Amino acid sequence: MNDLSDRIVRYGALQPCRTAFIDAHTPGSDLKENFTIIGGGVSESADQHVHINIPHGFNIGAAGQPPKCRNSLHSHRTAEVFFVLSGRWRFFWGRWGTAGEVVLEKGDIFNIPTGIFRGFENIGEDYGMIMAILGGDDAGGGVIWAPQVIEDATDHGLVLAETGKLYDTKKGEHLPDGVAPMEKLSEDEANAFPEPTTMQVIGGYVRRYWDMVALADKNPCKVIGETGIIRDKPGFEVDLVTRASSTEEMHRHDRPSVLMPVTGHWKVVWEGGETVLAPGDTMSVPENLDHAAWPSMTGDAALYHIVGTDDPAGATWTG
């Protein structure tokens, strides 16, 4: 297998969707860009481009936003993991986004607990990018929006159908006959969503880049997994590999795996081929293919490695 170019998505080749979600016209959220890199993602727009449509047991996506742009409060039924590729980001959660918050920077990772409302905004001075891992091939069946998000979107011309498809009334689009709008959560239903404390969320689900680099001094740091520093079984595992813990020894997995550099340049080799990945690039490695990856240049180098497991995608594990 020589050519794997169709399984490599370069950062500079990412195709954004600016109408991916119901808040795409809402002031403060109208400049965000969403990217679906692997799998169908959770976009509500037919305009969303999918770069690699091969089932992995999880989805890979990204969000790019200019300063002061935010993503509205929503919830997921399966894992939503973010790591910061560039910029400075504030993540917040709770019914009104006031239960807690954390600021993350390059390389930091956040496994946001399922079943809580969450949002995020770029609080840096430049365009920023966060990379996402979503649990399941169908990413949990979509997004659950806080009621006020749907109300605000309607005021700005966007209507979400019960089918999960978005319609833009500013473009003359209307719900088809027999299709109803997506039903909003009632106030009682929305208020019943958990509001964990800052201590609970940061302590259990946030890890800082340089701490993980230190932990990867001899072997890759198991970031998310049953034995990870974030203990969860979301249907995939995440490791951080650094220069110190990388190896040129060939290995394989019995299912597709994904390589996502966050710092440095990485040489990836397999029988009959090789490439170099840079931060923001994403590579899907086919199952049962012998391969290896190590830094190709001096300096700081770390990449996230994601591989599926036999655990079903679902709620955050509390075992």
Same-domain status, 231 and 201? no
Does residue 318 lie within any of the structural domains?
no
Q: How far apart are the C-alpha atoms of 98 and 82, rounded to whole Å? A: 20
The region that residue 210 occupies, defined by phi over 0 for left and psi between -120 and 50 for alpha, beta otherwise, is alpha
In the chain (319 residues long), the average pLDDT of successive 10-residue segments reads 90 90 84 92 75 95 96 95 98 98 98 97 98 87 87 85 83 87 92 97 98 98 98 98 97 97 98 96 97 97 98 90
Q: Which CATH number covers residue 255?
A: 2.60.120.10
pLDDT score, position 187? 95
For residues 137 and 237, membership in a common domain is answered with: no
Which residue type does 209 have?
A: Y
Q: Residues 58, 62, 68, CA angle at the centre, nearest 5°? A: 145
Phi first, then psi, for residue 167 (nearest 5°) are: -125, 135
* Structural domain contains residue 317: no
In this structure, are 195 and 301 located in the same domain?
Answer: no
Of the residues 171, 206, 241, the one at which a domain ends = 206
- Final residue belonging to a domain, choices 176, 206, 236: 206
**pLDDT value at residue 153:** 86
Q: Are residues 186 and 262 both part of a single domain? A: no
Q: For residue 251, what are the domain limits? A: 209-308
| Whole-number Å distance between alpha carbons of 315 and 103 | 24
Cα 243 from Cα 219, distance rounded (Å): 10
**Would you say residue 160 lies in a domain?**
yes
259, 172: one domain: no
**Do 298 and 149 share a structural domain?**
no
Say if residue 197 is in the same domain as residue 238. no
- Give dist(CA 93, CA 76) in Å, integer: 12
Does residue 313 fall inside a structural domain?
A: no
Domain boundary (160, 184, 206) is at: 206
Q: Are residues 148 and 48 in the same domain?
A: yes
In a shared domain, residues 166 and 249: no
- Tell me if 105 is assigned to some domain: yes
Beta-sheet pairing, 291-295 with 247-251 = antiparallel
C-alpha 93: how far from its chain's center? Answer: 16
Residues 190 and 233 in one domain: no
Q: What total of structural domains would you count in the chain?
A: 2
The whole-number pLDDT of residue 250 equals: 97
Burial pattern 103-140, b for ≥16 Cβ within 10 A else e, equals ebebbbbbbbbbebbbbbbbebeeebbbbbbbbbbbbb
Q: Provide the pLDDT for residue 140.
A: 54
Specify whether 152 is located in the same domain as 214: no
Rounded CA-CA distance 266/279 in Å is: 9
pLDDT at 257: 98
Q: Are residues 149 and 66 in the same domain?
A: yes
- Residue 226 inside a domain? The answer is yes
314 domain residue, yes or no: no
